[in-house]
Amino acid sequence: MDAVLRDKIFMRLLSPDGHEIPVLAHLTYDPSDPYAVTVGFTHGGFVYAEWRLDRDMLREGMRQPLGEGDVRVWPYLNGTREELRIELLHTALFTVWVPSLWRFLERTYKAVPAGEERLEELDAFLAELLAAG
């Protein structure tokens, strides 16, 4: 099993009144859960929120708006700065610089290429179920 990948990137929380609050986000990718990237928002050692986001959705969201429901993502050009906007629960809006997020995602796709994702527990369960008839 490949090692868990971790990184920290800065995001900005955009308030309804237009203020931007810098937030340190902890990114985690565990190849045993190959479809998800976990984003944790912490401060002073405390985890305030943790979200599991679809890895492909983050990648595709850099090109086109995606998502319905609790998570929506879309590309945004802030002057010459390419950003990804991430809206959670229709209330929290974060923005992240695309190159910093892409560097992390690129590492995840090297660890587990697109189309080669496997959920070992699910695969074993399905094999057992199919063998039992």
Task: State both tokens at 103.
Answer: 């560097």
Instruction: Write down the pTM of the prediction.
Output: 0.83
Q: Is the pLDDT of residue 131 over 90?
A: no
* pLDDT tens per residue, range 33-81: 999 999 998 777 777 889 999 999 999 999 999 998 899 999 999 999 9
Of 22, 55, 56, the C-alpha closest to 38 is 55
Q: Does domain 5-132 have CATH number 1.10.10.10?
A: no
- In the Cβ-directed half-sphere of 29, how many Cα atoms lie within 13 Å? 25
Answer for the pair 36, 53: CB distance below 8 angstroms, yes or no.
yes
Q: What is the pLDDT of residue 117?
A: 85
C-alpha distances in angstroms, 40 versus 12, 14, 28, 116?
Answer: 13, 17, 8, 26
Domain spans, the chain: 5-132
Helix (H) or strand (E) run with residue 102 in it: helix 98-111
Answer for the pair 39, 96: CB distance below 8 angstroms, yes or no.
no
